[in-house]
Chains A and B, each alone.
Chain A
Amino acid sequence: MKEYFNNIFTALFTIFVGMKVTLRHLFTPSVTIQYPDVKLPLPERERNRLYVNMDDCIGCDQCARACPVNCIEIETVKSLPGEDLGKTSNGKKKALWVTKFTIDFAKCCYCQLCVFPCPTECIYMTDVYEFSEYDRNNLIYDFATLTTEERIQKLENLDKHYHERETKKLGRI
């Protein structure tokens, strides 16, 4: 009999204790962040999408070789002797036309290993992390600044140059 009333008392008492807890939580500020409107500040050294500043890129291919998943693909064409490609921001002379510089972000593992070897610090991590796509091919980013015609033209120029040099050599003999 004592247990019976004890049960009733505990049941009611614990319900009120629980209700007190939930009522307190009803008025505590929520922890939700309204994500697309409000974003959490990113940590200082976060690693997200890569960016390549092509003005500074000398086409040295070191980032592509450092990449553990081979997601960077670089193709370069030598410049002609008279051409001036300008200098990078830290004073290095550019000697190669970069005809292809693609990074496949579907493969990229965001390890930042490509960033360290770059001699001109032109490849670096940005704070962009919202770049999902419906098609995987859209995740292949092309950073080369030359247009398609220019790329073909550069290659043809070099071929022509070699050809001329060969004919000159032949002529000299």
Chain B
Amino acid sequence: MMYDFLYELTGSSIIAGTIIALLPLFAFILPFALFAVLLERKVAGHMQDRLGPMRVGYHGILQTIADIIKLIQKEDIIARENDKLFFNIAPVLTFVGSYAAFAVIPFSSIFLGAKIDLGIFYIIAVTGLVVAGILMAGWASNNKYSLLGAMRSASQIISYEIPTILVVLSIVMMTGTMSLFDLSENQTGSFWNWYIFGGPSISIQKFLLIPFMFIGFIIIYISTLAEVNRTPFDIPEAESELVSGYHTEYSGMKFAMFFLAEYANMFAVSAIVATMFFGGYQSPFGYLGNSLNLVWLIPIEQFFWFIFKGIFFVFVQMWLRWTLPRLRVDQLMAASWKYLIPIAFVNLLIIGFITLI
């Protein structure tokens, strides 16, 4: 494990703990946000037969760095009627909520912040902070658009958490573990050991499970998409209706924090989906390190596969964003309460029966 290695290196549990806590932020979230914003704009551009940013650097690769420099320089505006305390806390809280989820996401078999048994439970609990931050931002802004956006966001996240949790529950019930690390370790070998293909055991159960796993995957993908407020579920920040929802009043670095939280959340959600259904950091077909007898290469390969899967699902989120129009509020609620939740329940029951066989 990374922590033990750092502990031996530095000889201090505090320094090792600090490094392991900050590592995902500086080694991953910030570069990922820079990359994802550029990817988003490029994907958007090319899907609309445009080119996207082209001016800063070769094909605009430095565009987001320029944006960040601009955001740092900007004035941090706090309006007179804002609730100063909560207005300042809200972006930090939102970011903390999405950053804390990275503590238990296994990037590879050795790069893992905390190896706790309640990994997935912890993620669901801690991302609840995001709702609090968003509501706080909307209320403290003292702006009707912000408040409407925050209310919509809260109601949306609460309703879509139920199908997410039901699918998570079915996986937990099937595997008997909540640790994301164990979940990934179970799916080792080749891609047919992934839970989307019924898990590692070869039996009649595996083949019976495949269609229900696919249903589960689709449900959890749709509902997590709604939880991170992405189009088609972006009614909390619907530009054409609500200016930009709960972060209307924010500028400069506080806005950047919301932005960072959104992109960190996108990856966290994709990483959870990848870990639960697509083998986490496991390679779909053997490791180069095994065939070349290079043990140190395996974690690097695992890291690559994890990032690849995560970014692929982030790409699908962007793909959906530029495909589908925004849902109405009633359609959004209907999709969750009338369709996803009953199907997730039935799916949970069927998976339970199959596991009992």
Binding site for B on A (CB under 8 A): 7-8, 11-12, 15, 18-19, 21-23, 25-32, 34
> Known contacts being A12-B218, A15-B323, A19-B319, is A26 close to B47, with CB within 8 Å?
yes
Q: Which of A15, A27, A30, A34 has the most CB of B within 10 A?
A: A30
Name which residue of chain A comes closest to B51, CB basis: A32
The reply to whether B54 and A23 contact each other, CB–CB distance below 8 Å, is: no
In-complex Cβ contact of B322 among A8, A11, A22, A28 (8 A): A22
In-complex Cβ contact of B46 among A15, A21, A26 (8 A): A26
Q: How many residues of B contact A (CB 8 A)?
A: 17
The reply to whether A30 and B319 contact each other, CB–CB distance below 8 Å, is: no
Which residues of B from 42 to 60 have beta carbons under 8 Å from A? 43, 45-51, 54
Hey, which chain A residues are within 8 Å of B320, CB to CB? Answer: 15, 19
Tell me the smallest distance from the CB of A11 to a CB of chain B, in Å. Answer: 8
Tell me the smallest distance from the CB of A28 to a CB of chain B, in Å. Answer: 6
The reply to whether A30 and B323 contact each other, CB–CB distance below 8 Å, is: no
Name which residue of chain A comes closest to B54, CB basis: A34
- Kindly state whether residue B27 has any CB partner on chain A within 8 Å: no
The reply to whether A25 and B324 contact each other, CB–CB distance below 8 Å, is: no
Tell me the smallest distance from the CB of B47 to a CB of chain A, in Å. Answer: 5
New contact pairs (20) apart from A8-B339, A15-B320, A15-B324, CB-CB < 8 Å: A7-B339, A11-B339, A15-B323, A18-B323, A19-B320, A21-B323, A22-B47, A22-B319, A25-B47, A25-B48, A26-B43, A26-B46, A26-B47, A28-B49, A30-B45, A31-B49, A31-B50, A32-B49, A32-B51, A34-B54
The reply to whether B49 and A25 contact each other, CB–CB distance below 8 Å, is: yes
Binding site for A on B (CB under 8 A): 43, 45-51, 54, 218, 319-320, 322-324, 339, 343
The reply to whether B324 and A30 contact each other, CB–CB distance below 8 Å, is: no
The reply to whether A19 and B323 contact each other, CB–CB distance below 8 Å, is: yes
Name which residue of chain B comes closest to A36, CB basis: B55
Hey, which chain B residues are within 8 Å of A29, CB to CB? Answer: 49
The reply to whether B43 and A30 contact each other, CB–CB distance below 8 Å, is: no
Hey, which chain B residues are within 8 Å of A23, CB to CB? Answer: 319
Tell me the smallest distance from the CB of B43 to a CB of chain A, in Å. Answer: 7
Please, how many angstroms separate the alpha-carbon atoms of A31 and B319 in the complex?
20
Name which residue of chain A comes closest to B48, CB basis: A25
Please, how many angstroms separate the alpha-carbon atoms of A164 and B339 in the complex?
105
Tell me the smallest distance from the CB of A25 to a CB of chain B, in Å. Answer: 5
Please, how many angstroms separate the alpha-carbon atoms of A31 and B50 in the complex?
6
The reply to whether B218 and A30 contact each other, CB–CB distance below 8 Å, is: no
Please, how many angstroms separate the alpha-carbon atoms of A21 and B320 in the complex?
11
Hey, which chain B residues are within 8 Å of A19, CB to CB? Answer: 319-320, 323
The reply to whether B46 and A18 contact each other, CB–CB distance below 8 Å, is: no
The reply to whether A22 and B51 contact each other, CB–CB distance below 8 Å, is: no
Q: Which of B43, B54, B218, B323 has the most CB of A within 10 A?
A: B323
